[in-house]
Chains A and B, each alone.
Chain A
Amino acid sequence: ETGVTQTPRHLVMGMTNKKSLKCEQHLGHNAMYWYKQSAKKPLELMFVYSLEERVENNSVPSRFSPECPNSSHLFLHLHTLQPEDSALYLCASSQDAGTGPDLGPLHFGNGTRLTVT
């Protein structure tokens, strides 16, 4: 049983749709993350939230909009996506998003498999 829960597990959407991915962590962590996992590419960090404040945005297109209403919940709002946005979207959490030498570990959810048609 993972401490990080993502819904839905699978999502198919058209390019004109608006949908949201949800992530919830039950670990009491202060930092939450969105990663994109595409075939044959390294995991890409999209967003980092620390204590509900966004602290990292790795030049992600504006068609992806994160929301962190509290330290346990994280959303990724999607609109007017492109077929190349099809991927596995992983949520993760950690105790802190600090800059010390001992970051980890990250605790990942099982991901949402997104297909954009």
Chain B
Amino acid sequence: GDSVTQMEGPVTLSEEAFLTINCTYTATGYPSLFWYVQYPGEGLQLLLKATKADDKGSNKGFEATYRKETTSFHLEKGSVQVSDSAVYFCALNDYGGSQGNLIFGKGTKLSVKP
């Protein structure tokens, strides 16, 4: 079945460092792809999304490009801040299955040190 694989964490960076969190997916169709973020003590929030190949989602300085040829949707940010410390989840919309079920990766914890 469809699945999402994220790089294992935790990832620890210094403030202003460059961030990449890898995400690859397996899907039979053409899913939409998402990044969600979970700050400590909170639920998940949508960070960005892309609905078709070569689309780039962006928000709050984060970017991810839907790469069909490599089945990837890597999250990047040029200069991280302490406030970016959170858990990041890659997900796909398995709409070809039942009721638009989102399939999530296991999450990658990011810690940014001042």
Contact = CB atoms under 8 A, between A and B. Distances in A.
> Do A and B bind?
yes
Interface of A: 2, 4, 6, 40-43, 45, 48, 50, 55-56, 90, 92, 94, 96-106, 108-111
Contacts of B31: 101
Contacts, number: 79
A104 B46 contact: yes
B44 A108 contact: yes
Interface in B64-114: 89, 93, 95-96, 98-107
A25 B19 CA distance: 34
Which 3 pairs of residues, A with B, have the shortest CB-CB distance? A108-B43, A105-B46, A103-B100
Nearest to A9: B41
Contacts of A4: 43
B34 interface: yes
A74 B76 CA distance: 36
13 contacts: A6-B43, A42-B105, A56-B101, A90-B43, A100-B100, A101-B31, A102-B93, A103-B102, A104-B34, A104-B46, A106-B44, A110-B42, A110-B43
What is the interface of chain A mostly: helix, strand, loop, or mixed? loop
B20 interface: no
B30 interface: yes
Contact of A99 (B30, B46, B100, B104): B100
Contacts of B100: 94, 96-100, 103
